[in-house]
């Protein structure tokens, strides 16, 4: 584990313990089966990054209530719901080293427990009694489903543009990060400028987080990856490095690249050649530089708040999001 | 079409037109594909019973605002979302005589457009700015997913009890009817006794509606049915007529009945024999009498309201729900 990650974890240990307890307390399933499946997806080594962002953002806004951890679970439940549905949609076999829920219990149960977690997240949002919070959360769920649909609709399409890619990762990832940070400001009754600053922080962090995730798909070390090399590409998901490289490549290379991308069963050598081409065209460097820019913007948004240990942690979390590239 | 259905339809024509327009206006999809799939499931001859119940209940409570039709779409969107997910879960090929969405667009899109409609329904609920309404609606979605999970979990289980059956149909059907009627009272600012009376009406109507639906599965006329004879049973879904008959049958008959139920490929003759046994044991009569009782309770709940054309229509809708048995 990196020093940065270690430092963050030691500083937020109590918060993470509180979040863990709240995740367990607020599930309220009627049926043993729901409980089992929900536990399988919820308690299998998730980073709890989204609820943690909400708890820290609330502290940054001097929130004094007792419900930050309770409401923070909304973001983990919504996240878990999309993981259940996405793994099924993508036909993924593993999730965090364990068999995916749809493999263990079947598609039916994965769909319906996902629905339950979505509903549970929204039910807890309703408990805030804050129509603005509820609206933001229901909009997030709309955006997330549309982002996923957009990605699936454009699966295998060589002409996916950078703009479309940005829109997809915004919807499927950044809006949830944004919501987690923003809602805490509303809950704390913070002034609008603070709410907007935290929304900016969350948005940029989420964009960078997804870009780094997409870069990781080009890692050759399956040990680090925990899944197949080039999994996104095999599923027909074009991400920024390859989108950028395709746009820049000479016609001959471009044709060859397209051929590999279209071939679901491309060999490791094909993939290596593709990675070389992407490197040549600067696709990885470009993606990393955009992620870096988003992190810089995220950190800048924090400048509105006076220096504090909590601000430092949020600053460090932004650094950690980038560090995952290496 | 029956006289009763004709009479109801002529009296609510304007309401249905308004609901139809609202269903179209409030969808707001970002993507053409979402629009296409949502239209396929939403505009394919649904009865609009749930939004209609909400509009009529609001009128019964002297609602004077302009948003009854807008908010009524919540119940059709949630209903459509569950149809998308349930058809996929059940492997159904047809829905209202058209190929099911998961057949046309694949499981991925059916799951995600279902998520979108669920989120859209909750987003519109948030627009009411009424935390109580939002809580009720998010609880409904929780209940619906748990009802479906319960049914799937007990699929093919011969020992499903009447109590479990009642709990399943309450969650998967009655809570949505109940919510549609109850929420209109809250929206209209009606006193609690009216809200509770409408909740009772909706609950009992929903219970009867599902029981009648389950009776229809034993109809031999595929023309009326629009799906395979004994479809529920083939999917391993035990409903009240057969639950009751199994509980009453002599050991010999019971063994034979269980054998047929367990055999997914039972013949039409097997099914005929089973239907005879259920008839002998009074399973159909018992189910019909319980449905009748629920309808009587639904109508009784309306007695709280003074006589009015709207009350008459709600009274007639209860009658129509029963009439579907014949």
Mean pLDDT, rounded, of chain B:
90
A119:B141 CB<8 A: yes
Measured between alpha carbons, how far is B113 from A149 in angstroms, rounded to an integer? 8
Burial label, B268 (beta-carbon count in 10 A; 0-12, 13-18, 19+)? exposed
Reply yes or no on whether the pLDDT at A119 is more than 60: yes
> Which of B88, B138, B157, B160 best tests the A interface by mutation, with the highest count of A CBs <10 A?
B138
Range name among A276-280, B4-8, B239-243 with the lowest pLDDT average: B4-8
Question: Does residue B137 surpass a pLDDT of 80?
Answer: yes
Q: Cβ B85–A34 below 8 Å, yes or no?
A: no
pLDDT digits 0-9 by tens, B84-104? 888 887 777 777 778 888 878
Give A269→chain B minimum CA distance, Å.
31
Q: Is the pLDDT of residue B32 over 50?
A: yes
* Residue with the two structure tokens 């490289």: A245
Pick from B139, B78, B147, B146: nearest CA to B114? B78
pLDDT confidence band for B236 (50 / 70 / 90): confident
DSSP notation for B128-172: T--HHHHHHHHHHHHHHHHHHHHHHHTTT-TT--HHHHHHHHIII
Which residue in B has a C-alpha nearest to residue A120's C-alpha?
Answer: B142
CA distance B142 to chain A (A): 5
pTM greater than 0.80 = yes
User: Which residues of chain A lie closer than 8 angstroms to B149, CB-CB?
Assistant: 31, 33-34, 109, 112-113, 116
Q: How far apart are CA B43 and CA B222, in angstroms?
A: 23
Q: Which two tokens stand for residue A286?
A: 């470009």
Asked if the model's pLDDT at residue B258 lies above 70, the reply is: yes
User: What would the pLDDT profile of A144-159 be if each residue is shown by its tens digit?
Assistant: 999 988 988 888 888 9
Output the domain CATH number for residue A277.
1.10.600.10
The domain in which residue A115 lies consists of: 3-323
Number of compact structural domains in chain B: 1
- Top pLDDT among A198 and A152 is at A198
Give the tens place of pLDDT for each residue, B193-223. 999 999 999 999 999 999 999 998 887 665 5
Residues of A with CB under 8 A from a CB of B: 29-31, 33-34, 85, 88-89, 107-109, 111-116, 118-120, 122-123, 125-127, 129, 131, 134-135, 138-139, 141-142, 144-146, 148-150, 152-153
Share of chain B above pLDDT 70, in %: 96
**Residue A264: how many CB atoms within 10 A of its CB?**
10
- Taking CA–CA distances from A29, the nearest residue in chain B reads B146
Burial class (CB in 10 A: 0-12, 13-18, 19+), A128: buried
Angle at A62 between CA A58 and CA A67, to 5 degrees: 50
Q: What are phi and psi of A177, to 5 degrees?
A: -60, -45
Segment B158-204, tens digit of pLDDT: 899 999 999 999 999 999 999 999 999 999 999 999 999 999 999 99
Binning pLDDT at 50, 70 and 90, where does residue A231 land?
confident
C-beta atoms of B125 and A118 within 8 A: no
pLDDT in tens, A11-41: 999 999 999 999 999 988 877 888 888 888 8
Task: Compute the nearest-CA separation of A86 from chain B (Å).
Answer: 8
| DSSP helix/strand/coil, B99 | strand
Average confidence (pLDDT) over A74-88: 91
């Amino acid at each position: 584990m990196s020093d940065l990650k270690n430092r963050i974890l030691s500083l937020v240990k109590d918060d993470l313990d509180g979040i863990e307890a709240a995740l367990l307390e607020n599930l309220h399933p009627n049926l043993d089966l729901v409980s089992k499946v929900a536990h399988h997806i919820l308690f299998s080594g998730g980073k709890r990054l989204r609820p943690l962002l909400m708890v820290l953002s609330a502290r940054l806004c001097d929130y004094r209530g007792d419900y930050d951890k309770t409401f923070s679970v909304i973001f983990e439940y919504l996240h878990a719901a999309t993981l259940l549905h996405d793994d099924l949609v993508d036909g993924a076999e593993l999730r965090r080293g364990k068999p995916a829920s749809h493999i263990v219990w079947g598609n039916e149960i994965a769909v319906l427990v996902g629905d339950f977690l979505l509903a549970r997240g929204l039910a807890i949002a309703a408990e805030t009694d804050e129509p603005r919070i509820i609206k933001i959360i229901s909009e997030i769920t709309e955006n997330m489903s549309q982002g996923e649909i957009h990605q699936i609709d454009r699966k295998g399409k060589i002409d996916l543009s950078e703009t479309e890619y940005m829109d997809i990762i915004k919807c499927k990832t950044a809006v949830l990060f944004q919501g987690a940070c923003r809602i805490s400001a509303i809950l704390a009754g913070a002034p609008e400028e603070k709410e907007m600053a935290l929304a900016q922080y969350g948005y940029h962090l989420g964009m960078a987080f997804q870009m780094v995730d997409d870069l990781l798909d080009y890692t050759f070390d399956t040990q680090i990856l925990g899944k197949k090399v080039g999994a996104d590409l095999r599923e027909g998901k074009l991400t920024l490095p390859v989108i950028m490289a395709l746009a820049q490549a000479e016609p001959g290379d471009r044709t060859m690249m397209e051929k590999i991308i279209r071939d679901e069963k491309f060999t490791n050598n094909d993939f290596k050649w593709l990675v070389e081409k992407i490197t040549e065209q600067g696709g990885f460097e470009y993606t990393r530089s955009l992620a870096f820019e988003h992190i810089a913007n995220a950190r800048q948004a924090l400048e509105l708040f006076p220096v504090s240990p909590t601000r430092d942690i949020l600053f460090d979390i932004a650094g950690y999001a980038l560090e995952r590239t290496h």
